[in-house]
Amino acid sequence: MRAILVGALMSDSPEFDSLNSVKYLFLRHLSEPRDNSLRLVVEEAVQNRFAPPPVPSDNPGLDEILKRSWPVESIQGCKTFELTWNRYAAYLVTEELVGSGGSYDHETYTGRLLRVYTKSHFLDYLARDTGGHVDPVQHYKLLCLNHLIDIGSYGPPDIRLTGPSSAPPLRIQ
C-alpha cells in the first residue's frame, strides 16, 4: 500500500514527469556521497538527425538501412537529471543488453524511464534474501540505454533537473 502511495506522489512531481517524458537516457554518473546514500546523474539522449552520415561499408544492405537511421546520443540542449536517495537497502546495476531478457508480465509499476514498482522480481529478492528493514522497501528502476538500475530504498529519490547538456555527443554505433 505504501509503495502505491509513493508512486502516486512521485507522478505529481514535475521533475518525475519531465524525466519520464524524455525518449532516451544515458547513465553518466553513479556514486555514494555518504554511507548508504546513492546519487545518479542521467542525461537525455535523442536521435541526432544533424549527425554526419555514416561512412559507407562493403555491405549494400547495411548501407541501405543506415541511410534511414540516426545515432542516438546526448547533444547540446539535452536535459540532465540528478537523482539522490538519502538511504537505500540495495541497488543493482545491470548492462542493458543482458538485463532486457526474461518475463516481466506479472510485475506492476508506474512510470516509463523511472519506474516505481509495487510488485517485482527485485522486491521478491529483497524480501527473500535481506532482512532487518525498519521501514518498507520500495523499488525504483531507471531504464537507460546503457544500464538498468534497480534501487530498493526507504523513500523516493529527490529529482533535480541540473540543466541542459553541453557535453559533446556520445556515439552509439
Tens digit of pLDDT per residue, the chain (173 long)? 334 344 444 556 888 999 999 999 999 999 999 999 999 999 998 777 767 766 777 888 887 877 777 777 787 888 999 999 999 999 999 998 777 666 678 899 999 999 999 999 999 999 999 988 888 999 999 999 999 999 999 999 999 998 775 555 555 54
Closest CA to 168 of 39, 97, 71, 83: 71
Beta bridge partner(s), residue 82:
41, 160
Interatomic CA distance for residues 39 and 52, integer angstroms? 34
Grid cell listed for 103: 518475463
Residue 5 phi, psi (nearest 5): -60, -45
Domain extent listing, the chain: 2-164
This prediction's pTM: 0.80
Q: Which helix (H) or strand (E) holds 98?
A: helix 96-99
Helices (H), 22-149: 60-66, 96-99, 121-129
Question: What contacts 39, CB < 8 A, 6 or more positions away?
Answer: 29, 30, 31, 32, 33, 82, 83, 84
